[in-house]
């Protein structure tokens, strides 16, 4: 039986990944600190259907605590998939040191753990935010002039570079996946689609930053998980940075319209100025992911929103208002 460590495995993307790994015969050790960024009950609920599964172990642990990490995580593992992070562009501007600690030092601690346990495959969830204000769209991994505009983005770049160091020094295969605006069931309450849906259903105003023309490459969580799983099997080179997106941009205005249609309720818009750290457009070149991973996103935005709606309505008792 193959064994994986998944950090952040009770979160939005992580819990979907754990579902897939367990369904295909893996033993999974989840490292989760249940960060109070949002209600821990939501994260616990994400994995509650695996409560009796002997192939799942959940260890409550902070990746910034190297002593506990080294002492509590032992055994033989085939792969470490690092999804845990201090999340959010805007909060990182208010508290940049926390993002440096968790996203950079936390990643280094996990690379050290991989070195200690002789784990030879390390998959890392990076972010499209690393491209920053790059006008050359769609964004390609071959464009090495990165222009981040938030501490969150810079912390992800730093972690990618740490991965390069460890791949060279310790023969750890490091696959950094730059994820583009992931959405779908179990999405965090602070993210736009979830936040907007919550406010629409409660008849509250939605803060819309700018004129609604900003664009995001929304990517369904199931497609992202397929890309991560493909990265666990990749073995052709020791270090790669790969975009995982949908290669289709959606305007903020259209996103709201699709949510309105799916929930059959109109939004009340509150126009606000653009926020520091935001970019006008994210757009993924996914040709490398197709070539190296066989990655091919399948879920269109409208279908993905409907899947999110079904989960959202089912989970209302736990949603943080």
How large is the average pLDDT for residues 185-208?
Answer: 93
Q: Which of 6, 204, 290 is nearest to 121 (CA)?
A: 6
**pLDDT given at position 320:** 47
**pLDDT given at position 277:** 66
Domain range summary for the chain, segments of one domain joined by +: 3-182+220-245+283-298
pTM exceeding 0.85: yes
* pLDDT for 115 beyond 50: yes
275 or 84: which leads in pLDDT? 84
For the question of residue 152 being annotated catalytic, the response is yes
Mean pLDDT lowest for which of 7-16, 53-62, 97-106, 270-279?
270-279
**Average pLDDT of every residue of the chain:** 94
* pLDDT for 236 beyond 80: yes
Distances (CA, A) of 174 to 103, 109, 168, 232, 241: 16, 15, 10, 10, 8
**pLDDT given at position 321:** 44
Question: Catalytic: which of 152, 166, 220, 295?
Answer: 152
**pLDDT given at position 318:** 60
* pLDDT for 46 beyond 50: yes
Q: Which two tokens stand for residue 206?
A: 């939605």
pLDDT (tens digit per residue) in 287-296: 999 999 999 9
**pLDDT given at position 315:** 85
pLDDT (tens digit per residue) in 241-276: 999 999 999 999 999 999 999 999 999 999 888 777
Query: Tell me: domain 3-182+220-245+283-298, CATH 3.40.50.720, correct?
Result: yes
């Amino acid at each position: 039986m193959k064994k994986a460590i998944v950090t952040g495995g009770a979160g939005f993307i992580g819990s979907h990944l754990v579902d897939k790994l367990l369904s295909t015969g893996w033993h999974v050790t989840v490292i989760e600190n249940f960060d109070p960024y949002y209600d821990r009950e939501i994260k616990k609920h994400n994995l509650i259907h695996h409560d009796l599964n002997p192939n799942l172990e959940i260890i409550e642990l902070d990746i910034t605590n190297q002593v506990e990490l080294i002492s509590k995580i032992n055994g033989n593992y085939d792969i470490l998939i690092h999804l845990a992070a201090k999340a959010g562009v805007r909060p990182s501007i208010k508290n940049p040191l926390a993002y440096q600690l968790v996203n950079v030092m936390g990643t280094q601690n996990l690379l050290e753990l991989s070195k200690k346990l002789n784990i030879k495959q390390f998959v890392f969830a990076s972010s499209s935010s690393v491209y920053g204000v790059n006008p050359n769209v769609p964004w390609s991994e071959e464009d090495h002039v990165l222009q981040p505009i938030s501490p969150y983005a810079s912390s992800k770049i730093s972690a990618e570079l740490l991965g390069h160091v460890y791949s060279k020094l310790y023969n750890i295969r490091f696959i950094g996946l730059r994820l583009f605006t992931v959405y779908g069931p179990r999405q965090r309450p602070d993210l736009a689609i979830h936040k907007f849906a919550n406010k629409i259903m409660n008849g509250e105003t939605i803060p819309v930053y700018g004129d609604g023309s900003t664009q995001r490459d929304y990517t369904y969580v199931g497609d992202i998980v397929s890309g991560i799983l493909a990265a666990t099997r990749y073995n052709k080179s020791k270090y790669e940075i790969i975009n995982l997106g949908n290669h289709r941009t959606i305007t903020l205005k259209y996103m709201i319209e699709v949510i309105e249609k799916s929930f059959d309720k109109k939004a009340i818009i509150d126009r606000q100025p653009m926020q520091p750290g935001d970019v006008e457009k994210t757009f993924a070149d996914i040709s490398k992911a197709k070539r190296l991973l066989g990655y091919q996103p399948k879920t269109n935005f409208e279908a993905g929103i409907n899947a999110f709606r079904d989960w959202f309505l089912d989970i209302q008792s736990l949603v943080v208002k």
